[in-house]
Amino acid sequence: MDRPGPACEARPVSASSVKVLAVDDQRGFLDVIRAVVEATSGFRWAGGATSGADALTEADLNHPDLVLIDVEMPEMNGVEVARRLLTRYPGMLVALISAHRPDELPKAAAESGVGAILPKENLSPAWLRGFWQEHHS
């Protein structure tokens, strides 16, 4: 994947950093998520997947602490991916991200057990920190 520009340079990574896995069928936005993660201190990029199947494989390999999943994906949508991850890893923190507003998403998204449903444009280092702290304070 393309590395982000100088204004989005990655922060130094520590072993106790929160590992973030991103799942989105749009490779361009995976780059954007990676730039946000690497610009957030205390978080590190654990990998990206462009499909639900790849996401489950990556989760088994890398054991991420936090997973950001796009809702609208072909074949297996984000809600189904989240459900399977939470079934397999009940302690994992999962957030659904979408280009649509939360009230435009199906009811299953709100009932999926994820920690948050976030409009994509609101993704930022401040939000990541707040989300993690809210669920691990």
The site for another protein (CB under 8 A) is made up of 4-9, 26, 28-29, 31-32, 35-36, 39, 72, 99, 120-121, 123-126
Whole-number minimum distance, CB 110 to another protein, in Å? 21
Which residue's CB is nearer to another protein, number 31 or number 84?
31
Q: How far is the CB of 87 from another protein (least distance, A)?
A: 28
Query: Least Å distance between CB 86 and another protein?
Result: 25
Cβ–Cβ < 8 Å for 96, 22: no
Q: Tokens standing for 135?
A: 């669920």
- Residue 119 forms beta bridges with which residues? 98
Residues 72 and 78 sit within 8 Å (Cβ to Cβ) = yes
